[in-house]
Structure 1
Amino acid sequence: MEKKRRVLLKLSGEALAGEKKTGFDEETVKEVARQVKISADSGVQVCIVIGGGNFWRGRSSNAIDRTKADQIGMLATVMNCIYVSEIFRSLGMDTEVFTPFAVGAMTKLFSKDEAVKCLEQGKVVFFAGGTGHPYFSTDTGIALRAVEMEADTILLAKAVDGIYDSDPKVNPKARKFDRISIQEVVEKQLAVIDLTASILCMENHMPLAVFGLNEQDAIAHAMNGEITGTIVTAE
Structure 2
Amino acid sequence: MSVTQPHVLLVEDEPAQREVLAYNLEAEGYTVSRADNGEEAMLQIREITPDLVILDWMMPLMSGIEVCRQLKTKEETRNIPVIMLSARSEEVDTVRGLETGADDYVIKPYSLRELMARVRTQLRRSRPLASGETLRFLDITLDPERHRVTRSGVELKLGPTEYRLLATFLEKPGRVLSRDQLLDLVWGSDIYVDTRTVDVHIARLRKALALGGGDDPIRTVRGAGYALG
Which of 1 and 2 has greater Rg?
2
> Structure 1-normalised TM-score?
0.33
Q: Which has the higher contact order (CA 8 A, sep 6+)?
A: 1
Structure whose residues are more often helix by fraction: 2
> Structure 2-normalised TM-score?
0.33
